Amino acid sequence: MTTDVPHKRLFLPGPVEVAPEVRAAMSTPMIGHRMSECSDLIRRIRPKLQQALFTKNPVFLGTAAATGFQEACFRNLCAQRALSAVCGAFSERFALMGQANGKPTDTYAVEWGQPNTADVIGEKLASRKYDLFTMVHNETSTGVMNPVEEIARVMRDFPEVMFCVDAVSSLGGVKIEPDRLGIDVLFASVQKAFALPPGFTVLAVSERAIEKAKTVKDRGNYFDFVEMREYDKKDQTPFTPSIAHMFALDRQLDRMLKEGVENRFARHQAMQQRAHGWGREKFGLFAKPGYESVTLTVFRNQNRFEFKALNSHLSATRGLVIGDGYGKIKGSTFRIGHMGDATLGDLNEVLSGIDEFLAKH
Amino acid sequence: MTTDVPHKRLFLPGPVEVAPEVRAAMSTPMIGHRMSECSDLIRRIRPKLQQALFTKNPVFLGTAAATGFQEACFRNLCAQRALSAVCGAFSERFALMGQANGKPTDTYAVEWGQPNTADVIGEKLASRKYDLFTMVHNETSTGVMNPVEEIARVMRDFPEVMFCVDAVSSLGGVKIEPDRLGIDVLFASVQKAFALPPGFTVLAVSERAIEKAKTVKDRGNYFDFVEMREYDKKDQTPFTPSIAHMFALDRQLDRMLKEGVENRFARHQAMQQRAHGWGREKFGLFAKPGYESVTLTVFRNQNRFEFKALNSHLSATRGLVIGDGYGKIKGSTFRIGHMGDATLGDLNEVLSGIDEFLAKH
């Protein structure tokens, strides 16, 4: 620790707790990014990451928060007009990337708590005005998980549209198969279900997306898929990457594959059921039934308590913290992240702490 | 270590060796980026970073390689036309950011090994066509250090031009005073003279640059100075930052200030004199006399040996590595980084190893 503040265990919707041995890998003595040791590291990571992401597509290691790759989708893949599905704060940010980068963008927005549905997306794309569709799989502000399988079926009718899925807070905790679903860009922040320290993004990009990018002007350089692919062929990255994160990712992928990705998904499912069963009864969930996130839960507070008082209690009695509501539902909701390496036992401790608090308030 | 390969000490022009206690800070248990602990961390870093960078301007913590901030200069600050000074591979990349982002850009290029000089810059800017000027202070491919003080004096005549200095491989090892020099954006990768793991950038941005950015359209989002400044006022970053790097930076700034920044500069100066004295005699330096870098040296190989053989020898006998030439002078030059926490004793060991090799070849 660099400070005297005792560590609080994180049950936020990210960053989440990082296993001691994965944290330790962040301290690995440094190597040069053009040394063979670094290419070896990339060659170790690649097949494991492809296995964890169910893809044979190129996978890239991004030294940036996932927000940078929201921007990358527009800059690399939109030459015409984008349709962005919006259902909360982070999908709204994804849509705003269009405007911020001078790309004509229409939004399909639903009320917070509702999902974006395949039928509406199909209707909108039927105008044939679009060459990019963006969506967030797991909206971290509302706890809604969008029906990506159904949406993918509709997307089959629009091969001219690049299909970009932000799975920032679900990838690694929920099965998403980009190759089978025809997803062109799938990306995740690593501080969520991958349980690594933040500041790094993993992504799978289809070859057809890379071909499309080659035709898009003014796509910039730092997030250029074409350049990433060129260096990827040499087992390198275009710029000096966060090598510490790569050491940690290598270690964490070993742990994920040792547990087994399907077992990992089952563990996330079990935590979801526990959190939702507990929360439905006591608070009600914010997400529309049938569309609840697997990796985090947004509970309705119903003005029963001040969130700060709850978190102070959890911190003082259990040494842990959960998340406040986000954006316009801050205060009226609160959030628990149950993802990454967290176990049902961990989650039970969180819920017991909240029960204890409620009994006193 | 995550692998069985023994660690090689790095005397590359970056990444460089990271002190064990700074590496250890990379493993600090995680905190949430919206928790008060993270704002506390930013508040600890800010005054120390301002002190190390000789600035009262806002300082930002960038979760990206410095290349991203080369792009940021164009996207935030060029509404009209840019002039980019080019004297090697990295300044060429800086200039290419203009083209990659659809910004009209003229270059002032000199032969590799030569510096960009103030008089030519003044002549070119006198056309009054430009609103952005970019330069690299310390060209890592050629070992040339550009005369930023003289250039800054010329820049005073062009207040309409934003003055952006990439000091990727010099900042922290050489004194640069952005406020006194009127530099609008000054940035550095942390894996060079700051001696941190790569994947993070520190930058000082003038208030006038932030005001200018507000007027520039389509400046994107991930590298938006305006948004960075807004969150900075709340002691936050716009997106989840690399918190591990922030813990390490906090620790390393303590170490830098404990040594004393002026002492640190003197140590870098002493290493430069040693490297240059030794190299001038044996090889000749690539940089024009009077413009040699303080933090790294580019030596002419003169076809005396194969670089790989030299590095294998250094690795086998001393457990250390130096850098090959870069780009079009790969093979005909080689490079030693003498920056960060390296000492004269470390450098002497590197040079002895090379002497040993030369005696056998």
Which of A58-72, B63-77, B297-311 has the least mean pLDDT? B297-311
Is the CB of B10 inside 8 Å of chain A's CB atoms?
Answer: yes
Which helix (H) or strand (E) segment holds residue B82: the answer is: strand B82-86
Overall average pLDDT of the B107-124 stretch = 98
Overall average pLDDT of the A92-104 stretch = 97
- On average, the pLDDT of chain A sits at 96
Instruction: For B237, name the nearest residue in chain A, comparing CA atoms only.
Output: A65
Q: What is the pLDDT of residue A2?
A: 45
Residue keyed to tokens 């550009």: B146
Overall average pLDDT of the B310-333 stretch = 96
Residue B83 gets the label, from left (phi > 0), alpha (psi -120 to 50) or beta, of: beta
Q: Give residues 176 to 205 of B whose Cβ lies within 8 Å of A.
A: 189, 191, 197-200
Overall average pLDDT of the A268-287 stretch = 96
Overall average pLDDT of the B151-173 stretch = 98
- How many whole angstroms separate alpha carbon A342 and alpha carbon A336? 11
φ and ψ at residue B260, rounded to 5 degrees: 95, 125
Contact A32 B40 (CB under 8 A): no
Helix ranges, chain A (H): 20-25, 36-52, 67-77, 89-100, 118-125, 148-155, 178-181, 207-214, 225-232, 243-259, 261-282, 307-318, 344-360
Instruction: Please name the member of B7, B14, B240 whose beta carbon is closest to the beta carbon of A198.
Output: B240
φ and ψ at residue B360, rounded to 5 degrees: -95, -10
Residue B304: band (very low, low, confident or very high) from pLDDT cuts 50, 70, 90: confident
| Among B90, B34, B49, B307, residue whose Cα is nearest residue B203 | B49
Q: Give residues 299 to 328 of A whose Cβ lies within 8 Å of B.
A: 321, 323
Overall average pLDDT of the B268-283 stretch = 96
- How many whole angstroms separate alpha carbon A147 and alpha carbon B256? 51
- How many whole angstroms separate alpha carbon B311 and alpha carbon A34? 14
Q: Give residues 57 to 76 of A whose Cβ lies within 8 Å of B.
A: 63-65, 67-68, 70-71, 75
Is residue A322 predicted with pLDDT exceeding 70? Answer: yes
> Which residue type does A241 have?
P
- Provide the sign of the torsion angle of the four alpha carbons A56, A18, B31, B3, taken in this order: negative
Count of CA atoms in the C-beta half-sphere (13 A) of B83: 22
Is residue B1 predicted with pLDDT exceeding 70? Answer: no
Overall average pLDDT of the B97-112 stretch = 97
- How many whole angstroms separate alpha carbon B160 and alpha carbon B153? 14
Tokens encoding A221: 């350089």
Is the CB of A273 inside 8 Å of chain B's CB atoms?
Answer: no
How close are the terminal C-alpha atoms of chain B, in Å? 34
Residue A201 is classified by DSSP as E
- How many whole angstroms separate alpha carbon A299 and alpha carbon A137? 19
- How many whole angstroms separate alpha carbon A73 and alpha carbon B215? 24
Is residue A1 predicted with pLDDT exceeding 80? Answer: no
Count of CA atoms in the C-beta half-sphere (13 A) of B267: 20
CB-based contact A302:A308 (threshold 8 Å)? no
- Provide the sign of the torsion angle of the four alpha carbons B89, B91, B93, B99, taken in this order: negative
| Among B173, B65, B322, residue whose Cα is nearest residue A221 | B65
Secondary structure of chain B: what % helix, strand, coil (to 5)?
Answer: 45, 15, 40
Is residue A90 predicted with pLDDT exceeding 60? Answer: yes
- CB-CB neighbors (< 8 A) of B40 in chain A: 3, 5
- How many whole angstroms separate alpha carbon B49 and alpha carbon B201? 12
Is residue A196 predicted with pLDDT exceeding 80? Answer: yes
Tokens encoding B163: 């003055």
Is the CB of A16 inside 8 Å of chain B's CB atoms?
Answer: yes
Q: Strand B9-11 to strand B82-86: parallel, antiparallel, or no bridges (unpaired)?
A: unpaired
Is the CB of A127 inside 8 Å of chain B's CB atoms?
Answer: no
Q: Give residues 35 to 54 of B whose Cβ lies within 8 Å of A.
A: 35, 37, 40-41
Q: What is the pLDDT of residue B105?
A: 98
Residue B281: band (very low, low, confident or very high) from pLDDT cuts 50, 70, 90: confident
CB-based contact B45:B61 (threshold 8 Å)? yes
Residue keyed to tokens 């934003």: B162
Write the pLDDT tens digit of every residue in B66-80.
999 999 999 999 999
- How many whole angstroms separate alpha carbon A114 and alpha carbon A122? 17
| Among A327, A279, A277, residue whose Cα is nearest residue A299 | A279
Instruction: Please name the member of A7, A29, A64 whose beta carbon is closest to the beta carbon of B63.
Output: A64
Contacts of A325 (CB under 8 A, 6+ apart): A298, A301, A307, A331, A332, A333, A334, A335
Size of interface A-B (CB pairs under 8 A): 210
Overall average pLDDT of the A7-19 stretch = 97
Residue A272 is classified by DSSP as H
Is residue A344 predicted with pLDDT exceeding 50? Answer: yes
- The C-alpha of A168 sits at a distance from chain B's nearest C-alpha, in angstroms, of 12
Write the pLDDT tens digit of every residue in A116-157.
999 999 999 999 999 999 999 999 999 999 999 999 999 999
Is residue A3 predicted with pLDDT exceeding 90? Answer: no
Residue A4: band (very low, low, confident or very high) from pLDDT cuts 50, 70, 90: low
Predicted complex ipTM exceeds 0.95: yes
- How many whole angstroms separate alpha carbon B355 and alpha carbon B155? 44
DSSP string, A78-133: -SS-EEEEESSHHHHHHHHHHHHTT--EEEEE--TTPPP-HHHHHHHHTT---SEE
Q: What is the pLDDT of residue A302?
A: 78
pTM of model > 0.80: yes
| Among B73, B85, B141, residue whose Cα is nearest residue B117 | B85
Could you give the strand order of the β-sheet that contains A185-189, starting from the edge strand earlier in sequence? A59-62, A201-205, A185-189, A162-166, A132-136, A82-86, A105-109
Contact B10 A26 (CB under 8 A): no
Q: Which domains occur in chain B, in start order? A: 9-16+260-360 (3.90.1150.10), 20-258 (3.40.640.10)
- How many whole angstroms separate alpha carbon B64 and alpha carbon A24? 22
Contact A222 B24 (CB under 8 A): no
- How many whole angstroms separate alpha carbon A70 and alpha carbon B95? 25
Tokens encoding A87: 């259902």
Residue B328 is classified by DSSP as G
Q: What is the pLDDT of residue A219?
A: 96
Task: Give the CA distances from residue B95 to residues A230, B78, B82, B128, in Å, rounded to whole numbers and listed in that order.
Answer: 20, 12, 9, 19
Contact A3 B37 (CB under 8 A): yes
Q: What is the pLDDT of residue B2?
A: 45
Tokens encoding B37: 């602990």
Contact B200 A197 (CB under 8 A): no
| Among A351, A349, A340, A354, residue whose Cα is nearest residue A172 | A340
Strand, coil or helix: A335: strand
- How many whole angstroms separate alpha carbon B170 and alpha carbon B70? 15
- How many whole angstroms separate alpha carbon A220 and alpha carbon B97? 7
- CB-CB neighbors (< 8 A) of B321 in chain A: 32, 35
Contacts of A120 (CB under 8 A, 6+ apart): A108
Q: What is the pLDDT of residue B126?
A: 98
